[in-house]
Amino acid sequence: MVLQRNTEINFWGWGGSNRPIKVIGSWFTDTVSTKVDYNGKWSLKLPKGEAGGPYQIKVISNNESILLNDILLGDVFLCSGQSNMEWGGNQNLKEIMDELPSANNPNIRLLQVSRIAANNPQEDINNNWSTLSAETLKPFSAIGYFIAKQLNKDLNVPIGVINASWGGTGAEVWTPNHLIENDPFLLKYAKMQDINAYRPYEGGVLWNSMVHPYAGYNLTAAYWYQGESNVGYYPSYDKLMKTLVTSWRAAWNYDFPFYFVQIAPYAYNSKNEPRAAYLRELQSKTALELQKSGMVVITDLVDDIKNIHPNLKKDVAKRLADMTLAEVYDKPIKDCKSPIYKSHVVKGNTIEISFHYAENGLKSKGDITELFIAGEDQQFQVAKGTIKGDKLIVQSKEVKNPVAVRFGFSETAMPNLFNSQGLPVSPFRTDK
């Protein structure tokens, strides 16, 4: 396994009530001790250590002992969500199939959590850590692997990745159920979930079995790619995600960074409203308001809007990893976040748009696409956009007294406005 470096490490287990527990580690200077409580549980903290290994840990209780071998100290990350986080070699994803022949790095460790749901919080999982190899990589998350590969290369420390994902699942199943049941707003939309034979849908059931058992296992950060299954009942998504993240951080007793992917362009064919655009708008809201979070925009990484699983995972992972390197490790990576709409000012027959995260300016590939402007009549006309440093000036000959702008605000839009590093501007509207 990989244990988190440079911090006291939460370490726990089970045993005979009131028995002594002694833990000896090959990087410790002293034995660490505790007693098993009356429920048969014990926990303690292992001393912090520098990145490296392999190390051993020996756990002794009376005349019994367990020896854990091949332990590395490094940085640990959790990946979760639905199928776009889950997918890899088992789905014949070309980017992963191309990696398999050379996948043999002993400093990358993977923990694949089994797809099991539970009605009550569980204490354990039936899965083991494994060293990166073609065999262990094939069923693993492509995004999780490519993040680990980049961080291991750039930081030169061991990387452990836990993947707890299940295709088609709503965010509710990853959120402790009592938080949904006791919130009428969240509960109203949770009840709208489709029942499907291939995935769980009841609140909290994957939090219980696929996250709760190792809550407290020291992490550096978490990554999330989910939302497609919440498009049909989007209004609760911002509050739901804030509830999910806050509850996870509380369970860890640590406000770890939480980085997520905005859902990709896809033809959901919502009949009367662009529901996916509304969900993306709420994801932007979460990204701005949730502390220690960040959002990756991927409107430029889709090869087929009729495929809900874009094939390009390596670039998604790079954007997540770059954000982590900049914010967690203070690496000098400029403009690692996609610009998000901030405010607008009407100036005569133009509207000037300001953005978060556009300090070094904007750029476009040709005339800016998917840009519209409207007057009081709310009839949106195709607009012309002009870049002025970090501002976007929008106008149309058809609209003399503009009041609102929309950019990429549809289910399938793949517009061409970017920051200085080529990260796409998040779709937005200035009206409600």
Q: What is the pLDDT along the chain (432 residues), one digit of tens a residue?
A: 999 999 999 999 999 999 999 999 999 999 999 999 999 999 999 999 999 999 999 999 999 999 999 999 999 999 999 999 999 999 999 999 999 999 999 999 999 999 999 999 999 999 999 999 999 999 999 999 999 999 999 999 999 999 999 999 999 999 999 999 999 999 999 999 888 899 999 999 999 999 999 999 999 999 999 999 999 999 999 999 999 999 999 999 999 999 999 999 999 988 889 999 999 999 999 999 999 999 999 999 998 999 999 999 999 999 999 999 999 999 999 999 999 999 999 999 999 999 999 999 999 989 999 999 999 999 999 999 999 999 999 999 999 999 999 999 999 999 999 999 999 999 999 998
Let me know if domain 74-327 sits in CATH 3.40.50.620.
Answer: no
Q: What CA–CA distance (Å, rounded) separates 352 from 18?
A: 69
Which part of the chain has CATH 2.60.40.10? Answer: 2-72
**Beta-ladder partners of 391:** 388
Asked whether 52 and 72 are in contact (CB, 8 A), the reply is: yes
**Which candidate, 249, 277, 248, places its Cα nearest to that of 263?**
277
pLDDT digits (tens, 9 = 90+) for 105-122: 999 999 999 999 999 999
Positive or negative, the Cα torsion across 206, 207, 209, 215?
A: positive
**Beta-ladder partners of 3:** 73
Where does 2-72 sit in CATH, by number? Answer: 2.60.40.10
Which part of the chain has CATH 3.40.50.1110? Answer: 74-327
Q: What CA–CA distance (Å, rounded) separates 200 from 295?
A: 26
Q: Which backbone phi and psi does 339 adopt, to 5 degrees?
A: -60, 140
Strands annotated E in 118-268: 130-131, 159-165, 221-225, 258-261
Structure tokens at 270: 């919502």
Integer distance in angstroms from the first to the last C-alpha of the chain?
Answer: 49
